[in-house]
Chains A and B, each alone.
Chain A
Amino acid sequence: MDEKFDCIIVGAGVAGLAAAMVLARSNMKFLLIERGEFAGSKNVSGGVLWGHDLAKLVPDYWEEKEAGWERFINHRRLTFMDEESTFSLDFKSSHFNEPPYSGVVVLRSKFDRWLADKVQDAIDASDYAMDSFIATNILVDQIIMKDDKAVGIKTGEDEFFADSVIIAEGVNNLLTRQVGLQTQYVPADHMLTGIKEIIRFDQKELEDRFQLNGLSGMSNEFVGWATDGVEGGGFLYTNRDTISLGLVLGIKDMREKNKSPHDVLNHFKSHPAIADIIRGGEIVEYTAHVVSSGDKRAMPKELYKDGVLLAGESANLLMNAGKAIQGMDYAMRSGILAAETIVKAKEKNDFTSATLSGYRKALDDSYVMKDINGFQDAVHLLHTPTMQHDVPNLICDFGRQFFTIKNEPTPKSKDMLRGAIKRHSSYWDLIKLGAKGAKAL
């Protein structure tokens, strides 16, 4: 293979596969390199893939019986937690029952592998059926730079050349640092560790327990006691016959508070409400992976340079503004936009940053950067101690009183609320929070 590719994509995660799909459909000659045994074998997410972009890549994906996704979300729950109680905002609606769904739960080892098969189908249908490849089991050591322009990749003794490189290597973005788009040392300030167990149930038992119907599913985020005082939150998503239960925990905060993520996971699971949910399940996998917080300060200084583009978590495109943890949809859209930029560059036969800057513009104009830019205040607010501790404690305290019936004269709700606020926060803090929250959301 001494011939030059139009593009080499590093990493067969959601971003890399989305890019590959667009390139295959645009009749481009490309190489997609994955270091794992198969696409998805190294990948971890919570995780829900939000939005409709999957339908752009795989139209009618929902009609496949053995598709790579687990369940569609029609039930959302946000739970505030103190030591003994949970108080949830719960929304379930048949409005979400129609494809393309608003969100689907995925397990990456299965989903990415399935999506890679779809990409292979697209390659087979293209003019370069014999010249474009998905290559697994290959670790990229280096991006080959010539006059500060990316011209290929080096793996062991082998070198592969291309007009362009899309780095979609994930959050541990060593190649991104190597080409100088991010500093070599990235501090822990805006990075979190995601930690998760896959817990299996009999499928019918799971469906009954969570009131699931067919392939409907639930997503549940947790704020408060779940994280044992560490910045972050918990999550629970229903798969076909398992649930994904886990936490994301601020790395800097764990360092400063002397906490182990696996201990905090046991702390979370020992909560009476969680213990009730998972009773009788069998743990079949334990996973962990770093994620970025969605704070823009964690992002690389630019997302392109001559011959190279960054997509997905290698560009730290992820956000949790309180409504949903989004990352895979950003990865998918950024992969699509990166590939579309490469297609345009090929038409002009110009792969310099002059053309590739169009990627940044397209991403800025898309919902990805509009949301990341627009909800920075919410990201910061969510990570304040008031939101992490005071508010969940206050809400649960109020809930306990509100739902307690003692056959005694019952105080008015506003008095209960006043008491709860006094015990856990102050009016002034809540006014500040409300004002900030109204602006942030």
Chain B
Amino acid sequence: MIDKPTRFLALCHFWVAFGAFALACVLGLYQVLERSGLVPAIQSPGVYFASVSTHGVLMAFVLTTFFIMGFGYVVAVSSLKTPLWNPKLAWAGFGIAAFGVALAALPLLTGNASVLYTFYPPLQASVLFYLGATLLVVGSWLWCVVMIVMHSQWKAAHPDETVPLPMFATTANAILWLWTSAGVALEVLFQLIPWTLGWVETVDVGLARTLFSWTLHPIVYFWLIPAYIALYTFVPKAAGGELFSHDLGRAAFLMLVVFGLPIGFHHLYMDPEQGSGFKLMHGVGTFLVALPTLLTGFTVIASMEIAGRRRGGSGLFGWIGALPWREPLVLAAILAFLMLIAGGFGGIVNASYAMNAMVHNTAWVSGHFHLIFAGTTVILYMAVGYYIWPRLTGKPLCSASLPVIQLWSWFLGMVLMTTPWHILGLLGQPRRISSVAYNSLLTLAWDPYELAMIVGGLVLTGSALLFAYILWQSQARPAAEQAFEVEYAGYQPADGPVHPLLNGFKVWNVAILGLMVLNFGYPILQFFLAKTFGSIPWGY
């Protein structure tokens, strides 16, 4: 079993993550109710946009970062079978990140940072918001250091061996995050903070949006990689089988890191400050990065088929029924795939260079990323939570059926909420409005969908609170401590260790550098070559 101090470290991370998540869900419920206009008493753009900003920050930055850090420590210690390197540094990372969250929470909750989690200059928030976000990122960088050092120390001690897949993927994620977060760090440190403190008068919005787009796409792979680790290494075992294959799995993680970074301009297709050529280049990369996800789908489904057949399932589809559907990891994987297929289809529409104009900034986009993030990714975070809780607390879960109910209700809520969003998006409803105030016949067609959205929000919030309850109840009840091990799905390689290219990152870092210079070099440089005009700060 993992040593006690590391278990406590991980539990602290998970509680910050899941606490932020539960709070963000309650805010989400308020938002669907408010924007439907059905309860006039709660109509308020001021409260709504403060809530949307807080919801976005809690979900996209706090839930993810703390979950990923806690999970990373567990993976490192359990897969490498070595003690945690430099626990003090790990705690410092936790402390700095948590302090950053508290600092950013003050202006967010008081309506002094209603600039959404995407910042949106020249709207200007309280400086505490930018400082808090920076500290959160700086804390996570310390986690990256711990992961990378543990990876290379293990490799030095085991020169002819293959780094275990979960740790290889975790290190890939740490490297991805260092590259990814650099864009937003440059924007905040060199543009937003000096401008908010009044050291410079104006901010170049075109440059700020370009830097943010650098971060905005690969950040979703930072969130997704832990979910993929669970798919590759926990799910096959939970289903009663083994990993179908191993090498392409490692290649898939590498492809996410290398192709995922230089493609952010698909968020800027509709923007005037970048030219068509670079947008098209990033668009091509966006399609290439679908490949690792298609490979992951194949490998994980094939692994589950092995398990299903081993459990007596036969025929073309009979193995699906034979899977242990009441096993949270297996159920979550199946539901995650269903949401990934629907969300992936929406993503292809968004990524399509020309078709994007139809859906850009409409409710379709909210539907898409809620399916991919809150659906696919978070449902696997939940399943990891259920798997890991006994291994951190030493106590079994308080119930076997409640997690199953909770995962199904999360899926149902997502379907109920995101289906109307996709339809509303096609009908042209903007994603970020607090009420429908357009005096137009076209927009009357939106009304019936608002109701389904509220039911979805209610189911989701109930499900999120149930999730927090199960974890709390399991940890708090009195029970004798037992030893639960973290175990990973087995794979027997055909002949010897993997190719060195699939066992390290040096070459790949050079490849990323080249691609980043190619895809972002001139697009950033152009703001310094031409005489651009910055914007003064604006309130909201």
Q: Do A and B bind each other?
A: no
- Interface residues of chain A, those whose CB is within 8 Å of chain B, are none
